[in-house]
Amino acid sequence: MTARIPDAVRDELSKSDFMKVCCFCGNDKPQWHHNLIHGGRQVQEVWAILPLCKSCHDQVNIKSFRRLADWVMWNRAPHEAIDKYSNVLNYKAHKEHLNSMFGEFRSEKIKALYANLYNQN
């Protein structure tokens, strides 16, 4: 199911400081994780790809981790993208639900929430 990331998206990701370390634990050398599968395909948009180290990447199927990853992704997505992908599921409502769970999105909160979730310090 792995698709090659288009060159334009890859270039934008490569330039982003956000993509240089795991967004959850801060480890370097992250893998780029396609967090959204839509219509059976990986969404090839900058906001839908998250930098995860191998350890965090291995946790993407854990419900609590998935919620946190979705919170990061949907808060990085522009409003029009949420509308575009909400034809089957209401991702605006999903984002609002995640924000009620984790609070207002701020990138500096990600690592603290992850550490709290997995009781790491």
Read off the pLDDT of residues 19-65 as tens digits, 9 standing for 90 and up. Answer: 999 999 999 989 999 999 999 999 999 999 999 999 999 999 999 99
pLDDT for res 16:
95
Query: Which pTM value belongs to this model?
Result: 0.86
Contact 101, 67 (CB under 8 A): yes
pLDDT for res 2:
60
> Cα 12 vs. chain centroid, distance in angstroms?
16
* Assigned token pair, 114: 């992850």
Alpha-carbon span 31 to 104, nearest angstrom: 26
Residue 19 one-letter amino acid: M
Dihedral sign of CA atoms 36, 86, 24, 22 in order: positive
pLDDT for res 59:
94
